[in-house]
Chains A and B, each alone.
Chain A
Amino acid sequence: MDWHQIWDIVSTPDNIPIVALFFLVPFYTWYAFRQGRANDRLIAQLEADPEAAKTHHRKTLPFKEGWTREVHVWPYLLRIEFLAAIIVTVILMVWSITLNAPLEEPANPNLTMNPAKAPWYFLGLQEMLVYFDPWMAGVVLPSLILVGLAAIPFMDENPLGSGYYTLKQRKWSITAFCFGFMVLWLAMIFIGTFIRGPGWMWFWPGQTWDHSRVIFEVNRDLPDLFHITSAWGKGIFGAVVVAAYYGIAGWLLHKVIARKGFNQRIYKRMSMLQYLIMQFFLITMLLLPLKMIIRHAFRIKYIWITPWFNI
């Protein structure tokens, strides 16, 4: 166990934000889910008792007869904003006094940094480079992430859970979002920061970064397994496999999503276009874990090989 190596990585000034995220994200998830569960209990109670639903206060927050619905911004909101500003300033001051921003040697194109890492918030993308070519990991997938995020309000036809925390009423959307945010984005950043060492090789926490280490990895491509050798053959084969993946994954997802009960009700509200777009983004999201699995389990690198691009 090389504690020194661990300390080196954790205490690198630019890595502090990720260490902070390590605590902040679980905390706020817990904070939100706690309120969600409280609301869910209230919902269950009201759903069981339609009479009470007509008169009962519909929040888990206290409300008493005679209280006004609204309060003045001054002072009730401004004082909070002021306090928040002071607290943030104090945190920043303490952080800035105790920890210096890094300054390495002057830029030198002839002296390659190893590992050369992007800023921490882009390390998820850099980590994806292991599984996808740069045009996918660096351009297409990030664009899809942004477009996919922007499309969320237009795909989510579930009218429940607008303006309050809940888990039960939005199981699907919350699961999908948390999977994307925590597994596909944050976990990849953690790996890129704490695990990847020289040569972007995998070093377990506590393993010394060995600059002369070489890993012999024999990666194969999927067409090779089927002894397809011609360029045409590989191109067509890959296209068929990818199309089949979208077809099968879509069908399976459809089985799960639109099968029964509440999900089916929401499904019926969606237009065909909405549904297909949602399917596309969900299936594409699953592409990353899938490629990770086939790489690590079967040492398969590319699925689809053409003269212009490989996936």
Chain B
Amino acid sequence: MADEKQNGKGGLIGVLEKVKGDTKDLKNRALDEIQSYKDVDKTQLYKSVFRVKHDESQRSRALGILTNVFLHLHPAKINRDAVRYSYTWGMGGISFYLFVVLTFTGVLLMFYYHPTKGQAYRDIMYLEADVPFGTLLRNMHRWAAHLMVITVWLHMFRVFLTGSYKKPREFNWVVGVVLMLLTLLLSFTGYLLPDDQLGFWAVTVGTTMAMNTPLLGYAGPFGAQLGMNQFNDVRFALLGGSIVDANALLRSYIWHCIGIPILISIFMAVHFWRVRKDGGISGPSPVMLESEIKELKRGAVVAPMKSGGR
């Protein structure tokens, strides 16, 4: 009996010992595992997201750019002078950043806005009075839009002054002109949305121009002769009516929030892609001398080179 008891006791102790041992094993395993998680970039989760190893090597720096979908618009390396602010003024990049800011704040604004007469104006008042940071949100959207118009113009100015539209970048300049038009239209369609006097009269003035379009507007040259009237001309198509009213608000809203953003995104994609394909940013490149101009082969008229000139 005593034996049995002892045995029994010993059995209990044995079990306890075993459990203790197991617990220790488990603890060590857990500690080991935690230790291994400290090397974040060795985990399966990490490796599934970031496809390549990152370390201090040159190759790794390049791969960091090339294997990231957001950064791979960049080349891995660029001309050492091309990073200078004095050359590009950063205006293209800033325009793009402002577009991102506008998209972000714009989506937030959409949560609070109904594009319907009566409601629209009240939504803005509500946004300014009751929504946390609503005024800041609206202000940021508005000022970023104005700033973007400015930066796009300055970008174009610098592209012109550096002659960056010359071969082989002619087409990208044309894409740029379309981007500028879309930027202006984006800003203009947003102007009506608060449905206040400012927007209403600005759009009234703007669409009076449409009414006067040659051939397609009823008040424009040859419009009436072609059968245009208030109810079938371009102005009607833009406003969805013959006056600036509920339909105009809705159309403005859809162009502003869906139509033009999609268009401008497509053109931006082409624009950035072409910057890369045209050999990256155009300069600052070595100056060229007049004596180095290669004569064109076109025709036979090659005037004897004159010295001097400018």
Contact = CB atoms under 8 A, between A and B. Distances in A.
A: interface residue count bin: 35 or more
A213 interface: no
B6 to A, nearest CB: 72
Interface in A128-180: 133-135, 137-140, 146, 149-150, 152-154, 156, 159-166, 168-171, 174, 177
Interface string B33-75: 0000000000000000000000000100110110000010011
B214 to A, nearest CB: 5
A215 interface: no
A183 interface: no
Contacts of A154: 170
B217 A135 contact: yes
Interface stretch (A104-112, A203-211, A220-228, A229-237): A104-112
A171 to B, nearest CB: 7
Given A17-B150, A77-B83, A164-B287, A101 B138 contact: yes
Interface string B79-98: 11101111001100110011
Q: Which of B75, B138, B184, B196 has the most CB of A within 10 A?
A: B196
B158 A84 contact: no
A66 interface: no
Contacts of B286: 58-59, 164
Given A162-B164, A165-B161, A92 B205 contact: no
B173 A150 contact: yes
Interface residues of B, number: 113
Contacts of B296: 269
B197 A113 contact: yes
Chain B interface mostly helix, strand, loop or mixed?
helix
A7 interface: no
Contacts of A170: 163
A17 B310 contact: no
A121 interface: yes
Interface in A47-95: 47, 50, 53, 58-59, 61, 67-78, 80-81, 84-85, 88-89, 92-93, 95
Contacts of A81: 90, 93
B93 A103 contact: no
Interface in B233-280: 243-244
A35 interface: yes
A42 B243 CA distance: 61
B161 A135 contact: no
A133 B212 contact: yes
Interface string B180-193: 01001001100100
Contacts of A212: none
B196 A103 contact: yes
A308 B161 contact: no
Given A81-B93, A92-B101, A121 B187 contact: yes
Contacts of B135: 100
Nearest to B160: A177
B74 A77 contact: yes
B213 interface: yes
A59 B86 CA distance: 13
A106 B197 contact: yes
Given A109-B200, A135-B220, A168-B310, A163 B163 contact: yes
Nearest to A70: B77
Contacts of A126: 205
6 contacts: A50-B291, A53-B289, A107-B196, A159-B288, A162-B166, A174-B161
Interface of A: 14, 16-17, 20-21, 24-25, 28, 31-32, 35-36, 39, 42-43, 46-47, 50, 53, 58-59, 61, 67-78, 80-81, 84-85, 88-89, 92-93, 95-97, 99-109, 111-113, 116-122, 125-126, 133-135, 137-140, 146, 149-150, 152-154, 156, 159-166, 168-171, 174, 177, 181, 260-265, 268-269, 271, 308-309
Give me the 8 closest cross-chain CB pairs, A-B, nearest first. A138-B209, A261-B309, A58-B286, A163-B283, A163-B285, A107-B200, A96-B139, A153-B170
Given A109-B243, A154-B170, A269-B298, 17 more contacts: A39-B287, A58-B286, A71-B77, A84-B97, A96-B139, A97-B136, A106-B196, A113-B197, A119-B191, A139-B220, A153-B169, A153-B174, A160-B293, A164-B283, A165-B162, A174-B161, A308-B225
